[in-house]
């Protein structure tokens, strides 16, 4: 299991477009990927789950990956977060 904490820097937080980017980034992988925010956890492969959290700018999230390709999943999320200006 690997995990990483991000601070959301996108002005609109995690709205429809960033949520879709996150889901599309992790879907091809076999690992289970969880997004945690304020004690709530959702499957990061579920667009509705991610959107249900309503994560605004300046908030802290944790992404947890568990499985054979967990390290690669987090590396891809990290790259996407920086490229899209979503989180640091």
How far from chain centre, in Å, is Cα 3?
11
Q: Does the annotation count 51 as an active-site position?
A: no
Cα separation, 70 vs 13, in Å, equals: 25
Q: Write down the catalytic residue from 4, 15, 67, 78.
A: 15
The label of the residue with tokens 């999320």 reads: 77
The label of the residue with tokens 């091809």 reads: 28
Cα separation, 81 vs 8, in Å, equals: 9
Where in the sequence numbering do the catalytic residues fall?
Answer: 15
């Amino acid at each position: 299991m690997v995990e990483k904490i991000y601070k959301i820097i996108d002005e609109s937080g995690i709205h429809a477009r960033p949520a879709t980017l996150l889901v599309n980034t992790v879907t091809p992988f076999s690992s289970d990927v969880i997004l945690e925010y304020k004690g709530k956890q959702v499957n990061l492969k579920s667009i509705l789950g991610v959107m249900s959290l309503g994560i605004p700018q300046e908030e802290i999230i944790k992404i947890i990956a568990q499985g054979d390709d967990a390290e690669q999943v987090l590396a891809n999320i990290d790259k996407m977060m920086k490229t899209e200006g979503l989180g640091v």
